[in-house]
Structure 1
């Protein structure tokens, strides 16, 4: 049986129609794939809007008064003429905290005298809390707060209005209400100075290092 070739014009028309019909199919496939990807992403992240946080870390340091309050015993007395130092992290977008409590996400503050750490307030220990409320920054250890041993250590610092995590103050105190059997410790030691400053961001540290290197190179070049 002899095969007859289609006229050239008819062949071109058929080819054109096939191409036109394939175009919307490709678009439909792409749209379907995009929709499926979007659905997958929504399923993965959930339907609730994500709450953005702006965590910043601050270095904190300060000094205790030369003497504890009359009647104090134990740790408050031992911290006289001592100091404290450490760091804490908080969501600064929640500050200033006018009438609410903003919990710190992490913290570690050492209570020191004569290069000896006498105590630590840290989120790594059970029962510890730390927060900013209005213009007060407080670190508390209530891990031993039980019916038998009503223990509470608290470092409380008061700043000026609109406290946003950084600043300087001379207003604060370390409170101690402890009773650990034969080890008695209670009383109050005033805080005479506190300084809080943000920890430099990594990119800022890198920029500072570059500037220092350039400065050193220029000085050597001038000497040469």
Structure 2
């Protein structure tokens, strides 16, 4: 006859095994989706003059620039027809060290994506009735875009109503460049190598 203590231990072991089996089953039927997120720096220059008839912001962006960062799951790139949404982005439109507008995922209605050779940041809130904006910064690269590269082809389209200020028109992009943000460990390694090189050079002199 089994005593109460072994029975209790058997029940605990059975319960533990059942929980472990349930966890393994759940993992097997619903595996975690791994992503490979990478952040890129983006910068560029606008044309000296906007399209004829433009008013508001497109005019102000003449000879202006833009800069910022964006993050994307690079395992989804390259893409042929489908859109790969950026997970986060902040792009500042700058003129004479003054930010005229910021395109960011923190603002309602904003979207950003990569499709084939296109990198685009936009706000179609006017169409979705989320706000009064309808504008986009679109960059066209020479080949299928995977996050790094440069181009002389792009445009900023604007048809937005910010209170009493109406913006409408188009400004061309004369140059844009996208490159990965250095990984922290890579940057640290560069510093270490540079420091060692400097010490060796000083040692040789002495």
Into which bin does the TM-score normalised by the smaller protein fall?
0.7 to 0.9
1:148 deviation in Å? Answer: 11
Deviation per CA, 1:130-151: give whole Å up to 9, x if none.
Answer: 0011111100023455669752
Q: Which runs of 5+ in 2 are unaligned?
A: 1-9
The structure number with the bigger radius of gyration is 1
- Relative to the length of structure 2, the TM-score reads 0.85
**Cα 1:199–1:152 shift into 2, 3 Å:** same
| Residues 6-155 of structure 1: pairs in structure 2 closer than 5 A | 35-36=17-18, 38-39=20-21, 41-42=23-24, 45=27, 47-143=29-125, 145=127, 150-155=132-137
How many residues align? The count is 196
**Contact kept in structure 1, 2:90 and 2:104, CA below 8 Å:** yes
- Relative to the length of structure 1, the TM-score reads 0.79
**Contact kept in structure 2, 1:125 and 1:143, CA below 8 Å:** no
Match for residue 214 of structure 1 among 181, 191, 196:
196
1:109 deviation in Å? Answer: 0.3
Return the alpha-carbon distance in structure 1 between the equivalents of residues 118 and 150 of structure 2.
Answer: 12
Deviation per CA, 1:87-131: give whole Å up to 9, x if none.
Answer: 000011111110100000000000000000000000011111000
Q: Partner residue of 1:200? A: 182
Cα RMSD for the two superposed structures = 2.6
**Aligned with 1:204: secondary structure?**
helix
| Residues 153-192 of structure 1: pairs in structure 2 closer than 5 A | 153-192=135-174
